[in-house]
Structures are given as structure tokens and as C-alpha cells.
Structure 1
Amino acid sequence: MGSRKALGFVALAAILGYLYMDSFDPESLADARVLVTGASTGIGEQMAYHYARAGAQLALTARSEDALLKVKIKCLELGAKKVSLLRADMGEPDARIQVVEQAVSELGGLDYLVLNHIGATPFQMWDGDVSHVRWLMEVNFISYVDLANAALPYLVQSHGSIVVLSSLTGKTPIPFAAPYIASKSALEGFFVSLRQELTMRETPVSITLCVLGLVDTQSAMKKTTGKVSLPIYPAQDAAYAVVSAGARRVKEMYYPWLSGHLNICTQIPSSTHPGDVQSG
């Protein structure tokens, strides 16, 4: 009897997760001015395509100009109103402010800041390399703070949104990724606290924290194949869930929904459907 109830809960939660994602109206993003970091590959690339299909205006940034150019061409084919490319290395502090200023100049303002880039890090046991931790925190955390700080005045004007991509490992740590997990945990602490302060000040800017499971990006697959036994989910679907959550201004989103929610609560992985909690 207990197993039947559990299966019923799983099925219901999966359906609810699907409905959460499917409630998104892409037309709400028509002409939206969107800056996406880490947009040349993986989830960032797929998010750019989803925004393009909705008719958004895009500023895309990454280190590889050649890869960005390919994304730009496809975005324009899919229906983006405008696509500006901003090549930048988020490990360089000065580049972050320049990216925001250039994006605002190119787009005439800013409605969405989508923070997605990450620094490369090995999937291995901690080897005592403190300098790598400092660099990774600079790229995966401090640069997010710099970008959000620079963009905030423009987002206040537009009543815009900050969308932050994080990881389920930032909530439930696993072995072999201590520096990466530390950076994701820092993201959650900072942006959840900042959201509370914005609410206290009645500042009309939403912050959506996106907590993702293992997604089939090239970099993730290269690191984890043959090393972990975890469900793997499509980058295209994960990107859609992020875009949807940001557009609906939810506070926190999990992809896959049931897997993330139950993993945090009970350490039991399940389902394949994204969703969110604490809507607002």
C-alpha cells in the first residue's frame, strides 16, 4: 500500500512539474532585452535559441567569438529581433562591467540578466590546489556578483530580472567537485540574501535561482561519463525550464523538478520534469 502511495505521489509530482513548465507563454519575451553569459555552448547556447524563438533582443557573451558567431546566425534564423556579440573572459574583472555597459548600449536597456558561465575544473578528489579554488570562485561567483551589481540600475528601470544558474550539488554536495560545489553554494547564499534585501526595499527586480541536475552538455559528459551513476537530462529542456522560470519571475526552480526536490528532502532521485517552488 505504501509503495502505491509513493508511486502516486511520484506521478502527481511529475505531472505538476510538467504543468509548471508548460504554463510559460513565450510571447511574454517578445522584444525583451536579454544578456546571456556563457552563451557559446551547452545550456547557454540553448537558452539563446529559446529567447530567439520568442523574438527577444539578445546580447551574448563568451570567450570564443567563433562559437558565438555560429549561435548568432542560428538565433537570427529562429526569430531573434537583434543579436549582439560581446567576447569576454569572465576571469577578468574589468571585462564584466564592460559587458553590461556594452549590452545596455547595444540593446537600449536591459530586461534580463542571465548568469550561466562557469570556469573549467577537474572532476577529481581535492588535491590541495588553493589557487584553483580562488580562480574558480572568481569566475563562478565573484563575476556573477560584479555583473549583477553593474546591471541592477538598468534592471530597476525596466522592472527586470536576474536569472542565476546553479547546481543541485550546491545544496547536496557530492565527492570529486569541492571547488565547484563551493562556488555554487556561494551563489545561493548571496543571491537569496540579495533577493530578500530587494524585497525589503521594494525594488522591482526579481531573482530566479535555477538549481539544475546533471545535464548532457559536452563539458559535463566529458567529466562524469563512467564516473557517476546519475540520471542525465537534455540541455535543451533544461534551458527551456530556466527561460520559463525567469519569465515567470519564480524565486527558485529545480530541473528536473521531482529529482531535485526529493534529493534535497530525502536523497531519493526521480522524475524528469522541471518545476519550481516559492513562486513570486
Structure 2
Amino acid sequence: MTKNTNQLTDKIVFITGGSAGLGEEVAYQAARKGATVVVTARRLDLLEMVRKKCSMLSNKPAYAYRLDVSNPDEIQKVIEQVYQEVGNIDVLINNAGFGYFEEALTVDMSVAENMFRVNVLGLMYVTQLVAIQMAEKENGHIINIASQAGKMATPKSSIYSATKFAVIGYSNALRLELKPLNIIVTTVNPGPIDTNFFDIADKSGNYLEKVGKLVLKTESVADRIIGLVGTQKRELNLPYALEIASKFYMLFPKTSDYLALKLFDNK
């Protein structure tokens, strides 16, 4: 990837889940760097507000498309529209996703199925279509937003963790496949972020308060994500305390299971 792409000036950045939370802030950070921002999500009214602010920050056109990433036909249609109306995508940020804290024995399996359609299959459909175009010009950067839950599972996160384990595994293989084509693949694994994600995920409404010091600020995470563009960084893990915990988890699985049950069950 060229050094100019790292500056993001006049590069087309396509973001899923861009109407609120982390995706919204990533869009603003990209716009501040001079990118042409394309935001997608299901709520077109919210997207339009994000689009307007991105255009103001970048002083150039920004674009918004309604997109439900659980619908492959809709993905195909929107990606084709972007190519025709905006141009080739230089940076793809797969941010769309949701979680729901529930034990495996009681979770509604329709919720589990939808979570896989959004968090995993939707990401794969979007990535394949964009990567095909990137491969033609042998240039691009794909950033997949996974989670620390995909490296270290805890109670009541069985389905969500499974989707994020899948995203990490997919990204790791994709990175190797696309490297010869000069396409970079980076995985971002954040811990809890202070966003509306927990409005759905946490029925109790107390999770963020319980994990207090580990909660990340949206602006800080978005800044780190945009800072990755054009670099060869394989993976970004946040916060540092959870990065250390996940490494301990892999090295000492039995002890980690005990700690996950006794100390880290905050849901």
C-alpha cells in the first residue's frame, strides 16, 4: 500500500455500522484525515446526520447508504452502487455487529442465528465483494472489528464470543491469502467501549459500571483504528490489561477458566 493511503486524503473509506457508536466516530476521524467517507447502516435517518458531519469535516462529499448486512442481496446492491456513484473502495472497515448476553441453555436461537448473519456472514459477504475489486488494483486495507471476547470467552457470551472467534479466524486466513495481492488485513479486538452496543447486549444495564476501569472511550478507539490504515499491523488489542489477560488465557487455559468464573463474570 502506498504511503499516501496512510494519509487518507481522497481515499474512499467504506464503513459498516456507521450510524452510531464506534462506527460513527471512525467515520468522523476518517473525514478529518481527508477521506471520502461512505457510511452504511440500517437507520438512514441517523446515517444522514453522520454523512453531513463527515462532509463538513472533510470539506468534500460524503455518502450514506441504507444497508442491512444480514441480507446478501442488499449487500450486493449497495456495493455496486458505491462503485458506480463513488468509486473503488480503498479502505473497508467492517464494524457492523451486535451482542446479547445470555447463557447458552436459555438463549433464543433465532437471536443466535441473526448474530451470526450480522457479525460473521455479513462481514464475509461485504469483504469478498470489496476484496475482489481491491485485488484487481492490487491495493487496499481491510480492518475487521472483532473483540477481546473472540480471544477470551466468559460466561453469558457464548454466542457473541463464537461470532468473534470466527471473525478472528477468518481474518487470519484472509490476511495470508491477500498478502500477495498487496491487500492488508488487520483485526481490531477491543474490550468494552462506552457505546450504545450495551443497550442491546446487557439486559441488566450494569455491565459497564462493573468493569469500570476497563471501559474504553469511543474517540480513543476510533483514533487508533484510523491510525492503522496503511500500516502492516496485524492486530490491535485494547485495552492493554485485556491483551495481557488474553495471552495468559492461551498459556494457562485451566487457570483462566477458573478466573473467568470467579473474577470476570460481570454480565
TM-score if structure 2 supplies the norm length?
Answer: 0.84
Specify the alignment match of 1:165 in structure 2.
145
The Cα of 1:225 is off from its aligned counterpart by: 4.0
Specify the alignment match of 1:260 in structure 2.
242
The one of 218, 221, 224 aligned to 1:235: 218
Change (3 A) 1:187 1:85: same
Specify the alignment match of 1:12 in structure 2.
none
Q: For 1:177 and 1:52, how far apart are their aligned partners in 2?
A: 34
Contact map agreement 2:6 2:230 (CA 8 A) in 1: no
Specify the alignment match of 1:249 in structure 2.
232
Q: State the AA in 2 paired with 1:35.
A: F
Q: For 1:189 and 1:43, how far apart are their aligned partners in 2?
A: 22
Structure 2 residue 187 is the aligned partner of structure 1 residue 209 = yes
The Cα of 1:237 is off from its aligned counterpart by: 0.7
Structure 2 residue 135 is the aligned partner of structure 1 residue 153 = no
Q: For 1:104 and 1:86, how far apart are their aligned partners in 2?
A: 12
Which structure 2 residues correspond to residues 75-94 of structure 1 after superposition, within 5 A? Answer: 75-94=54-73
SS in 2 for 1:210: strand
Contact map agreement 1:110 1:158 (CA 8 A) in 2: no
The Cα of 1:198 is off from its aligned counterpart by: 2.3
Contact map agreement 2:14 2:38 (CA 8 A) in 1: yes
Cα deviation, 1:205-234, whole Å, max 9, x if unaligned, reads 110100111100022266274246322111
Q: State the AA in 1 paired with 2:139.
A: H
Q: How many residues align?
A: 241
Runs of 4+ displaced beyond 4 Å: 24-27
Specify the alignment match of 1:226 in structure 2.
206
Contact map agreement 1:84 1:106 (CA 8 A) in 2: no
The Cα of 1:25 is off from its aligned counterpart by: 9.6
Change (3 A) 1:227 1:85: closer
Structure 2 residue 31 is the aligned partner of structure 1 residue 49 = no
Instruction: Give unmatched runs, 5+ long, in structure 1.
Output: 1-23, 269-280
Specify the alignment match of 1:95 in structure 2.
74
SS in 1 for 2:88: coil
Q: For 1:249 and 1:96, how far apart are their aligned partners in 2?
A: 28
Percent identity between the aligned chains? Answer: 27
Q: State the AA in 1 paired with 2:235.
A: E
TM-score if structure 1 supplies the norm length?
Answer: 0.80
Q: State the AA in 2 paired with 1:42.
A: G
The Cα of 1:107 is off from its aligned counterpart by: 2.1
Cα deviation, 1:104-132, whole Å, max 9, x if unaligned, reads 2222211011100014x432222143332
Structure 2 residue 96 is the aligned partner of structure 1 residue 114 = no
Change (3 A) 1:210 1:218: same
Q: For 1:197 and 1:45, how far apart are their aligned partners in 2?
A: 30
Specify the alignment match of 1:187 in structure 2.
167
Specify the alignment match of 1:143 in structure 2.
122
Q: State the AA in 2 paired with 1:260.
A: L
Report the RMSD for the aligned CA atoms in angstroms.
2.2
Which structure 2 residues correspond to residues 117-136 of structure 1 after superposition, within 5 A? Answer: 117-119=96-98, 121-126=99-104, 127-136=106-115
Instruction: Give unmatched runs, 5+ long, in structure 2.
Output: 250-255, 257-267
Q: For 2:6 and 2:93, how far apart are their aligned partners in 1?
A: 18
Q: For 1:220 and 1:261, how far apart are their aligned partners in 2?
A: 21
The Cα of 1:169 is off from its aligned counterpart by: 0.8
Q: State the AA in 2 paired with 1:93.
A: P
Q: State the AA in 2 paired with 1:183.
A: T
The Cα of 1:136 is off from its aligned counterpart by: 1.1
